[in-house]
């Protein structure tokens, strides 16, 4: 069995306060990116093993795929002796949810392979034990996430606009970004203003702490905002991906080449078409 785990971007991310349990109360609108997905290949084996050729990706019990499988075994009582081959296409530490997507789709695949017919609501409860944002990937549709991210409400959003994703070589740990949010400040000359596309308001409260440390991301966003091909630009999640929502008539390839030439030729890029 082969399953694909799509990435996501955050069209909006608002933090209201830090909770007593150490998490942050938030509200975020999440959009799946079907054209950018990791692949998981499940094969029957004598025992469970995880394989991945991407450097730096652990294949032991610390990987979220492994943890999701072990949690499924614990909750259902079913042994899951599968060889899982993980092909990574979603960059790590990018604010695109790669590891969380892999875990969610592991649960979905095991539910199908073991014919356990566990409802999504129950899988979501289990997934939230592994990570706050994992439940959203079970829904495979645009959704609003609230609480610490585990309260999911599917959205009727019918997204059609192209989106150009750009990521520098460095990663940003999500816990670090949240830990710096409360006392962070805006940089002079950088736009943090909400942006409107139709009835959607785009903004990200985590831009403030991340831009303080990584000025190149602030400059990348501002450059995109000033470009005539771009309708809006924002950081996804805790970064380090910045995305540009393109105008219908925009030449995406020309914009990409111009940004690579002016900002950083080593940027990872992906054009999402819906």
Burial class of residue 198 in the structure, from the number of CB atoms within 10 Å of its CB (0-12 exposed, 13-18 middle, 19+ buried): exposed
Domains and CATH numbers, the chain: 2-154 (3.30.230.10), 163-272 (3.30.70.890)
Residue 20 confidence (pLDDT): 76
Q: Which H or E run includes 73? A: helix 64-76
pLDDT by 10s per residue, the chain, length 274: 999 999 999 999 999 887 877 788 899 999 999 999 999 999 999 999 999 999 989 999 999 999 999 999 999 999 999 999 999 999 998 999 999 999 999 999 999 999 999 999 999 999 999 998 999 999 989 999 998 888 899 999 999 999 999 999 999 999 999 999 999 999 999 999 999 999 999 999 999 999 999 999 999 999 999 999 999 999 999 999 999 999 999 999 999 999 999 999 999 999 999 9
Q: How far apart are CA 178 and CA 13, in angstroms?
A: 12
CA–CA–CA angle 202, 125, 30 (5° rounding): 15
Active-site annotation holds for 133: yes
Catalytic residue chosen out of the listed positions 38, 88, 102, 133: 133
Burial level of 39, CB count in 10 A (0-12/13-18/19+)?
middle
pLDDT of residue 237: 96
Determine which one of 8, 88, 167, 221 is catalytic: 8
Helices 120-128 and 98-113 pack at an angle, to 10 degrees, of 140
The per-residue pLDDT for 29 is: 97
Closest residue by Cα to residue 272 from 97, 33, 74: 33
What does the pLDDT read at residue 17?
A: 83
pLDDT attached to residue 24: 86
pLDDT at res. 23: 81
Where are the alpha helices (H) located in 130-234, listed in sequence order? 174-181, 207-213, 215-225
CB 10 within 8 A of CB 241: no
pTM for the whole structure: 0.94
What are 7's strand-pairing partners? 33
Q: What is the spatial distance between Cα 28 and Cα 143, in angstroms, rounded to a whole number?
A: 8
Active site residue 221: no
Quick check: 50 and 66 in contact, CB under 8 A? yes
């Amino acid at each position: 069995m082969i399953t694909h785990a799509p990435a996501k971007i955050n069209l909006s991310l608002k933090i209201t306060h830090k909770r007593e349990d150490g998490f942050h109360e938030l509200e975020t609108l999440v959009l799946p990116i079907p054209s950018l997905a990791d692949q998981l290949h499940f094969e029957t084996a004598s025992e469970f093993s995880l394989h991945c050729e991407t450097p730096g990706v652990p294949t032991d019990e610390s990987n979220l795929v492994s943890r999701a499988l072990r949690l499924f075994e614990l909750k259902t009582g079913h042994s899951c002796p599968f060889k899982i081959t993980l092909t990574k296409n979603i960059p790590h530490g990018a604010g695109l949810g790669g590891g969380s997507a892999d875990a969610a789709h592991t649960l979905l695949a095991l539910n199908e392979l073991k014919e356990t017919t566990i409802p999504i609501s129950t899988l979501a409860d289990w997934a939230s034990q592994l990570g706050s944002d994992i439940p959203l990937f079970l829904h495979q549709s645009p959704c609003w996430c609230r609480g610490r991210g585990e309260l999911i409400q599917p959205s009727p959003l019918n997204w059609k606009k192209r989106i150009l994703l750009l990521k520098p070589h460095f990663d940003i740990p999500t816990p670090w970004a949240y830990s710096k949010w409360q006392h962070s400040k805006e940089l002079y000359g950088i736009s943090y203003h909400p942006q409107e596309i139709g009835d959607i308001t785009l903004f990200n409260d985590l831009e403030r702490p991340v831009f303080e440390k990584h000025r190149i991301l602030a400059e990348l966003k501002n450059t995109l905002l000033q470009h005539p091909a771009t309708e809006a630009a924002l950081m996804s999640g805790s970064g380090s991906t910045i995305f540009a929502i393109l105008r219908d008539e925009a030449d995406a390839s020309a914009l990409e080449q111009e940004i690579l030439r002016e900002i950083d030729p080593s940027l990872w890029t992906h054009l999402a078409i819906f």
